[in-house]
């Protein structure tokens, strides 16, 4: 897959497909740096540490059954859940990997957000204990 435009993402939260409500999303995978510098080192020395997965999803809010509020609100402060992302809802492949976040904790939920005349929006932030990237 070459350059493309995000217009068909796939987002599933706790086995509920919420793709048709996604306005934007961020999946941030980072690695901490562990300082291993010694007194005799002229420059700081570092090694890769632990990985961390965080992110957020901006949804167009929907209070109907099996939609945004009904899916997200019960997960806030509850047991970890699973979120699955794909850049395109098409088939999983080397050029369209699936990112599965297990042991995901929802860290915040803006149930109502907006100003007069704006679309009703909702932002969900999360951190995850595990990440699996699959290409088949």
Whose tokens are 């679309």? That residue is 119
Instruction: Please name the CATH architecture into which domain 10-31+48-134 falls.
Output: Roll (2.30)
Contact 99, 27 (CB under 8 A): yes
The full set of domain ranges for the chain reads 10-31+48-134
Of 56, 64, 60, nearest to 124 by C-alpha is 56
DSSP three-state, residue 94: coil
DSSP 18-69: -GGGEEEEEEEEEEEEEE---TT-SS--EEEEEEEEEEEEEEE---STTSHH
How many residues make up the chain in this entry? 136
Q: What is the pLDDT of residue 1?
A: 55
Pair of tokens at residue 87:
């850049």
Which letter, b or e, does each residue of 11-44 get, where b requires 16 or more Cβ atoms within 10 Å of its Cβ?
Answer: bbbbeeebeebbeebebeeeeeeeeeeeeeeeee
Q: What is the pLDDT of residue 73?
A: 97
pLDDT tens, per residue, the chain with 136 residues: 578 899 999 999 999 999 999 999 999 999 999 999 999 999 999 999 999 999 999 999 999 999 999 999 999 989 999 999 999 999 999 999 999 999 999 999 999 998 999 999 999 999 988 999 999 9
């Amino acid at each position: 897959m070459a350059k493309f435009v995000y217009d068909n993402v796939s987002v599933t939260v706790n086995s509920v497909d919420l793709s048709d409500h996604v306005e934007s999303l961020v999946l941030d995978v980072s690695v901490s740096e562990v300082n291993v510098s010694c007194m005799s080192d002229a420059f700081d020395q570092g090694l890769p540490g632990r990985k961390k997965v965080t992110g957020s999803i901006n949804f167009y809010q929907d209070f109907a059954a099996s939609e945004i509020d009904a899916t997200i609100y019960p997960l806030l402060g509850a047991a970890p859940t699973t979120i699955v992302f794909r850049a395109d809802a098409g088939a999983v492949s080397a050029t369209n990997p699936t990112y599965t976040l297990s042991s995901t904790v929802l860290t915040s939920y803006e149930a109502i957000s907006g100003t007069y005349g704006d679309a009703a929006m909702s932002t969900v932030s999360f951190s995850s204990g595990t990440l699996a990237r699959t290409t088949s």
